Each structure stands twice: as structure tokens, then as C-alpha cells.
Amino acid sequence: MKMILSSALSSGILLMGISLLYGATGTIGFEALPQALKADNGLHLLSLVMIFAAFAFKLSAVPFHLWTADVYEGSPMPVTAFLSVVSKGTVAFVLTSTFYRAFQPMFETWYQLLA
């Protein structure tokens, strides 16, 4: 139950971050976002943080890792292996791809966020 509620919350945060990004830039296309993000806007930073928080939940990064121990303990070994390897690798790829392609003008900001 903890994972379902946390997952729903993180999905809502991701949706809100994407909505704020669209509202601030007028686009969500990876080709047009770098040009739109060159203008300094507080909503850009807020949407970046919200999108990162949603991805951090999926990666089980601190402090979004509270659901992980319960799910891994209560699941069969093959399910745990799949959740801990395949899903994390996929989310890491999507996170780096999204940040390098879409948020390139904000490199200094998200680099500090990830460091």
C-alpha cells in the first residue's frame, strides 16, 4: 500500500512538473525546449526540481527510498531482481537522456542538483 500511494504521489508531481514546464515555455518537445529554457524563469527551476523528484522516487534515491525495503522484502526473488535492476536502469537512462537533451541550458542548475 505504501508503494501505491507513494507512486501515485510521484506521478502527480511528475505531471505537475511537466505542466509547469509547458506553461512556462509553451512546448514540451525536446528539440524546442533548449531554446525556450534560455530565458531565466523561476518556473523552469521549479519544474526541473519536480521532474527530478519524480525520477528520484522511481530510482529509490534518498529521501524517496522509503517504499523500497517493504516492496523488496515482501516480493518473490524474481520480482525483486526485476524491480531492482531493470526498472532502475531504465529510469536512469530516461533521466540522463531527458536532462541532457531537454534541460541542457540549465546544466549548472541540475548538475548541482545531482552532485
Query: What pLDDT, in 10s, does the model give residues 48-61?
Result: 889 989 988 888 88
Q: Is pLDDT above 80 for 34?
A: yes
- What gap in Å lies between CA 52 and CA 84, rounded to an integer? 19
Work out how many domains the chain is built from and give that number: 1
Beta carbons within 10 angstroms of residue 64's beta carbon: 18
- What gap in Å lies between CA 112 and CA 115, rounded to an integer? 5
- The amino acid sitting at 96 is T
Each residue's pLDDT tens digit, 4-30: 888 898 899 999 999 999 998 888 888
Cα 89 to Cα 45, 92, 95: the distances in Å are 25, 5, 10
Look up the domain containing 12 and give its range.
2-114
Query: Measuring CA to CA, which residue among 41, 43, 42, 21 is closest to residue 33?
Result: 21
